[in-house]
Amino acid sequence: MTINSLYIYDRHCTCVYYQDWHRTRRPKPAVEGGILPAVSQAVSPPKPAATTSGSISGFTSPRDTLSSGSGIVVALNDMVAQSPVTPLLQTAAPPVALSSTGLAFDEEAKLVYGVVLSLRNMIKKLSGRDEQFVNYRTSAYKLHLYETPSGYKFVMLSDPNTDSLRFVLRQIYIGPFLEYVVRNPLVSMDSREHGIDNEYFRASIDRLVRGLSVFS
Amino acid sequence: MERQPSCLLSAKRSTRRPQDEPTVVWVRNKFGEGEKQRRARSRSGTHSLLNVNSDHLGPATSPPNRWFQPKFNILAMAIFGLWVINKAGGLVYQRNFAGPDSSLSGFVSDFNPPLIDGLAQLTSNEYLVLAGTLHGIHAITSRLSPMGSSSGAQIIEGEAFKITILLTATGTKFVLLTSLTDTSSDSILQKVYEAYSDAVMKNPFHTPEMPIRSEGFDTRITALIGTGQTA
């Protein structure tokens, strides 16, 4: 029993957040331009070292007065290269001996979204009601979906034997998501330009997931 | 806006009037209580909306003004449909039970197909499209595994029904649509596979990968699933 990964999609079909645990087959990093910045550092395209010395933050709003020079920026993770292990996250770097799915992360994220959307439409069509798609199971994993009224889709992959994890996804929504994304003025939701990743959000989800009885 | 496959957007539904169905008992009661009472009464094995006798139910012939739309299926265990999908993704056999086609024979209104239970009545074209979609999804799901190699989707669950998929070694898929609580899907699919081998594959007049038009297979399926009500 374990939990493998979490994807969050916004209503524009784009992946805005990704996190994984215990994943033996990892995707290759996304290609340049394949995913938004601030989705997940683990799968972001590798950056040339020279570009990080320039501007500190990709956010150019005049209200954005925080910079890592003047204080601690914890509210958003952006294109800034950060030290690999941040103090809030206790997670160690992933072990190196992992096989790859052969897919780049951006491709994988699109496939996951495609499957979820098709199944959702199929369930609606078959039932003739406004019935939601809940989960599907294969021999190796189980995929759970929770969709918010605002169109955000929370997708979680877990061990095939787990019960429905919809409540967990809902907890992530009403807990970390509302607290560190919706109420975070530095995260521009629905921007189509940035993901919603930030250190507190990631740490908070990590705590929540690691505290579950199904996580081991 | 979400992108939707354009094939799923063209939902043209036939508009058969419910007056054509004199045998049906219409449910008029409010949602919660009536459902509970009928559940309590329907413990005794096979049950359908047709043999429920209760003062909560309206007269037998007149359809209600308001459609009754339960949030969940009233029938505790039911089989709604069986599909056979060939290895190219074509739907070669499709049959409905327990819902539209068998006993309740498809009430479809023009705004929302408000079946008392079971699934919506779709046109054969829509079933073809859904089967093709399922075929594609099945292939993709085997590639998304986070842990080692994976089969395709085996069980897909909605809030009130589930889709159980049996993939044979030859690539033919047997798909069973049942209520969530149904526990017999796997064994039924195995038996359907047996019936398919016996009544379809051994039939010298059957062309492989083509739609199944075999009375023998139909009979075997009827014997196996009947009206779709499993006790």
**pLDDT per residue as tens digits for the range A8-32:** 999 988 999 999 888 888 888 888 8
Q: Does A117 touch chain B (CB under 8 A)?
A: yes
- Nearest partner of B177 among B211, B132, B228, B133, judged by Cα: B228
Q: How confident is the model over B170-183, as a mean pLDDT?
A: 91
Q: What angle do the packed helices B185-196 and B215-225 form, to 10 degrees?
A: 160
Task: Compute φ and ψ for A50, nearest 5 degrees.
Answer: -70, -30
Question: Is the CB of residue B16 less than 8 Å from the CB of residue B108?
Answer: yes
Q: What is the DSSP letter of A113?
A: H
Tokens standing for residue A196: 């919603």
Task: Flag the least confident range among A61-65, A150-154, B50-54.
Answer: B50-54
**DSSP 8-state symbol, B198:** I
Looking at CA atoms only, how far is residue B50 from chain A in angstroms? 21
Residues in chain A: 216
Residue with the larger pLDDT of the pair B36 and A95: A95
Contacts of A126 in chain B (CB under 8 A): 119-120, 122, 130, 158, 161, 163, 177
Is A28 an 8 Å CB contact of chain B? Answer: no
Distance between terminal CA atoms of chain A? 6
Give the span between the Cα atoms of B12 and A61, in whole angstroms. Answer: 48
How many residues are present in chain B? 231
- A and B: number of Cβ contacts within 8 A: 136
pLDDT of residue A98: 60
Closest by Cβ to B158, choosing from A20, A114, A127:
A127
Residues of B in contact with A135 (CB under 8 A): 156-157
Strands (E), B78-214: 79-85, 91-96, 155-158, 161-167, 173-179
Print the domain residue range for A166: 3-51+65-210
In a domain, A56, yes or no: no
- Which has more confidence, A188 or B77? A188
**Mean pLDDT of chain B, nearest integer:** 70
Asked whether the beta carbons of residue A118 and residue B159 sit closer than 8 angstroms, the reply is no
Q: Are A75 and A182 in contact (CB under 8 A)?
A: no
Q: Strands (DSSP E) along chain B, which ranges?
A: 79-85, 91-96, 155-158, 161-167, 173-179
Q: Rounded to whole angstroms, how far apart are CA atoms A214 and B82?
A: 34
CATH architecture for segment(s) B6-225: 2-Layer Sandwich (3.30)
Helices (H) and strands (E) in chain A, counts: 3, 7
**pLDDT number for residue A130:** 86
Contacts of A12 in chain B (CB under 8 A): 1
Residues on chain A touching B153 (C-beta within 8 angstroms): 136-138
Cα angle B123, B50, B65; round to 5: 70
More confident residue, A164 or B98: A164
pLDDT at A72 over 50: no
Candidate from A126, A133, A136 with C-beta closest to B120:
A126
Q: At what angle do helices A105-127 and B124-141 cross, to 10 degrees?
A: 150
- Highest-pLDDT range among B25-39, B91-105, B175-189: B175-189
Tokens of B57: 């139910």
- Sequence-ordered alpha helix ranges (H) in chain A: 105-127, 166-172, 199-210
A98 part of contact set with chain B, CB < 8 Å: no
Say what the pLDDT of residue B121 is.
83
- Residue B99 has a pLDDT of 52
Number of folded domains that form chain A: 1
Of the candidates A2, A6, A3, A4, the one whose C-alpha atom is nearest the C-alpha of residue A195 is A6
pLDDT at B2: 47
pLDDT exceeds 50 at position B97: yes
Residue B122 to chain A, least CA–CA distance (Å): 8
Does B5 lie at the interface with A, CB-CB under 8 angstroms? yes
How close is the nearest chain A Cα to the Cα of B205, in Å? Answer: 33
**Do β-strands B161-167 and A15-20 pair in parallel, antiparallel, or remain unpaired?**
unpaired
In order of B18, B37, B103, the CA distances from B52 in angstroms are 19, 10, 13
- Would you state the structure tokens that stand for residue A43, as one six-digit string? 């799968």
CATH number at residue A149: 3.30.450.70
The answer to which of A140-149, B37-46, B77-86, B113-122 has the lowest mean pLDDT is B37-46
Between A31 and A143, whose confidence is greater?
Answer: A143
Q: Which of A126, A129, A157 sits opposite B130 (nearest CB)?
A: A126
Query: Is the distance from CB of B186 to CB of B162 less than 8 angstroms?
Result: no
d(CA B26, nearest CA chain A) in Å: 19
Distance of alpha carbon A152 from alpha carbon A154, whole angstroms: 7
Which tokens belong to A3? 């939990």
Interface of B with A in 125-184 (CB under 8 A): 126, 130, 133-134, 136-137, 140-161, 163, 177
CB B197 within 8 A of CB B189: no
Q: For position B141, what pLDDT does the model report? A: 93
pLDDT at site B3? 52
**Range in A40-44, B26-30, B146-150 the model is least confident about:** B26-30
Query: In degrees to the nearest 10, what's the CA dihedral of A103, A109, A114, A119?
Result: 110
Q: Is the pLDDT score of B166 beyond 80?
A: yes
Of B2, B5, B146, the CB nearest to A5: B146
Rounded Cα distance between A145 and A164, Å, is 9
Question: How wide is the angle at C-alpha B153 spanned by C-alphas B149 and B157, nearest 5°?
Answer: 140
For B118, nearest residue in chain A (alpha carbons): A127
Q: Which residues of B touch A127 (CB under 8 A)?
A: 119-120, 158, 160-161
Asked casually if ipTM beats, i.e. exceeds, 0.85, the reply is no
Instruction: Give the confidence band of A40 by pLDDT, cuts at 50, 70, 90.
Output: confident
A139 touches chain B (CB under 8 A): yes
* Cβ pair A118:B130 closer than 8 A: no
- Model pLDDT, residue B47: 40
Given this model, what pLDDT does residue A59 score? Answer: 46
Looking at the complex, report in whole angstroms how far the Cα of residue B155 sits from the nearest Cα belonging to chain A. 5
pLDDT of the residue at A88:
54
pLDDT band at residue B67 under the 50/70/90 scheme = very low
Strand order of the β-sheet with A153-158 is A15-20, A3-9, A153-158, A142-147, A133-137, B155-158, B161-167, B173-179, B79-85, B91-96
Of residues B27 and B155, more confidence is placed in B155
Query: Are A13 and B5 within 8 A, CB to CB?
Result: no
| Neighbouring C-beta atoms of residue B101, cutoff 10 Å | 17
From chain B, the residues in CB contact with A5 under 8 A are 146
Residue A170 has pLDDT above 60, yes or no: yes
Contacts of A20 in chain B (CB under 8 A): 146
The one-character DSSP state at A30 is: P
